[in-house]
Amino acid sequence: MRTLKFLLRKEFRQIFRDKSILAMIFIMPTVQLIIMPLAANYEVKNIQLAVVDRDHSSYSQQLIAKIGASGYFRIVADPRSFRDALRLVEGNRADLVMEIPAGFERNLVREGAQNLALSVDAINGTKAGLGAAYLTRIIGDFNTDVRLEWVEPGRFNPMATIEVTSLNWFNPRAEYRFFMVPAILVLLLTLVGGFLSALNIVREKEIGTIEQINVSPIRKWQFILGKMIPFWVLGLIVFTIGLTIARVVYGIIPAGSLLTLYVFAAVYLVALLGFGLLISTFSDTQIQAMFVAFFFIMIFILMSGLFTSIDSMPVWARTIAYLTPVTHFIEVMRMIVLKGSGLADVSRQLLYEGLFAVVLNGWAILNYRKTT
């Protein structure tokens, strides 16, 4: 323990001596956690709509006004022809084109039906799909209003209907930030812990101090622990700062126990730092370690369920996703923060993280070659 104590003192002094590392540890996650949730928004707004109105009736104007007042669409032009509207789409000045045919009001009143033409720019599939769905819903509501206006009460026999009432659990107002902020906090913790630990041993190699350590009576597990514990402590501090920002800036208060969060974060950091130290034992330069860490961390992030649902992935991708520690931590963060899950509810994911920690750190200790 005395040897480990001296190693920890050396590591903490080395960390606090380098101002760039301190900025990377504390300032970068703080700024990113404030900015990124504001940009990572699942809602699609400001959809640019071009309306070709061939009828110019009161109903067509009511429909256009209803669409503009929805808050999702921005009517950018009212071209005279469909060909002119397509030019707007080709020039990236319109996302959707709605064509109202001549006789729209007359057919709607007399015949009770009228077709509208919607043309969607599908380059951005998500924006196209949601935009068309929003517009179809608004047109459907407008159609219901018209039918209620013209159908006389009691003219037709009432038809049996099923009314569906929805209730959002755990996130009643369906606000995206409650879903994204916990996951982004995991992402930032992964970036800080993964990159810094991956560069740790390599830095000793480049400046030449690794040779002095190799000839000293320090065991391999003591050396790895001496490298891991400082970043483990700093990682928990970053985690605390992230939870504070989530509460102060976004008003997110974990529904579950903070103790459960910290227990899982502590085990996750052990696994993540073991992964970074393993990369460091294989690398000879900091650039090499940085690129290897970047390669794996990008896979972790893209396949962790942060931006896309894991359930929609093919089987082989889901298998890879569940073999990464980031996936389980993001799932647990959302369970604890939103659902209020306890330690018993996340015990399976905690077991996975423990296995990752044992395997990765054991591998790093075995792979570190200490010559005497």
CATH code: domain of residue 54: 3.40.1710.10
281 assigned to some structural domain: yes
pLDDT in tens, 202-245: 877 777 777 676 667 777 777 778 888 888 998 899 999 999 99
Statement to judge: residues 210 and 67 lie in one domain: no
pLDDT in tens, 51-82: 999 998 888 899 999 998 888 899 998 888 88
Instruction: Give the range of the structural domain holding residue 342, as residue numbers without chain letter.
Output: 175-367
Q: How does residue 9 score in pLDDT terms, banded at 50, 70 and 90?
A: confident
Please give the order of strands across the beta sheet that includes 47-53.
73-77, 47-53, 96-100, 117-120
132 & 187 share domain:
no
Q: Which of the two residues, 267 and 45, has the higher pLDDT score? A: 267
Residue 318 has pLDDT above 50, yes or no: yes
How distant, in Å, are the alpha carbons of 59, 77, 86 from that of 81?
A: 19, 11, 9
DSSP string covering 274-337: HHHHHHHHH-SSHHHHHHHHHHHHHHHHHTTTSSS-GGGS-HHHHHHHHTSHHHHHHHHHHIII
- pLDDT tens profile 125-173: 777 888 888 888 898 888 878 777 765 555 545 555 566 777 778 887 7
Q: What is the 3-state secondary structure (H, E, C) of 324-345?
A: CHHHHHHHHHHHHHHHCCCCCC
pLDDT of residue 152: 53
- In a domain, residue 372? The reply is no
pLDDT in tens, 345-354: 999 999 999 9
Would you say residue 23 lies in a domain? no
pLDDT score recorded for residue 263: 95
For residue 35, being part of any structural domain is answered with: no
Last residue of a domain, one of 150, 185, 210: 150
Rounded to the nearest integer, the mean pLDDT of the chain is: 84
Q: Are residues 337 and 254 in the same domain?
A: yes
Tell whether 118 and 251 lie within a shared domain. no
Q: Are residues 138 and 192 in the same domain?
A: no
Output the DSSP codes for 132-197: HHHHHHHHHHHHHHHHHHHSPTTSSPPPP--------SSSTT--HHHHHHHHHHHHHHHHHHHHHH
* Residues whose CB falls within 8 Å of the CB of residue 131, separated by 6 or more in sequence, listed in order: 44, 47, 72, 73, 95, 96, 120
Distances (CA, A) of 285 to 202, 239, 278, 293: 6, 29, 14, 12
Q: pLDDT (tens digit, 9 = 90+) per residue, 233-275?
A: 988 999 999 999 999 999 899 998 999 999 999 999 999 999 9
Residue 113's pLDDT is what? Answer: 77
Q: Are residues 227 and 331 in the same domain?
A: yes
| Number of structural domains in the chain | 2
**Is 308 inside a domain boundary?**
yes
The pLDDT of residue 222: 79
Q: Are 262 and 238 in contact (CB under 8 A)?
A: no
pTM score, whole prediction: 0.79
Task: Please indicate, yes or no, whether residues 290 and 343 belong to a single structural domain of this protein.
Answer: yes
Q: Same structural domain for residues 296 and 223?
A: yes
142 with 192, same domain: the answer is no
pLDDT at residue 357, rounded to an integer? 93
Whole-number pLDDT of residue 371: 46
- CA atoms within 13 Å, Cβ hemisphere of 130: 13
- Which residue has better confidence, 98 or 130? 98
Q: Are residues 194 and 306 in the same domain?
A: yes
pLDDT above 80: residue 6: no
Tell me if 157 is assigned to some domain.
no
Specify whether 136 is located in the same domain as 184. Answer: no
pLDDT over 90 percentage in the chain: 24
Whether residue 31 lies inside any domain: the answer is no
Q: Is residue 95 part of a domain?
A: yes
Judge contact between 76 and 48, C-beta under 8 A.
yes
210 or 328, greater pLDDT? 328
Which of 115, 150, 185 is where one domain is finished? 150
In terms of domains, do 184 and 145 share one? no
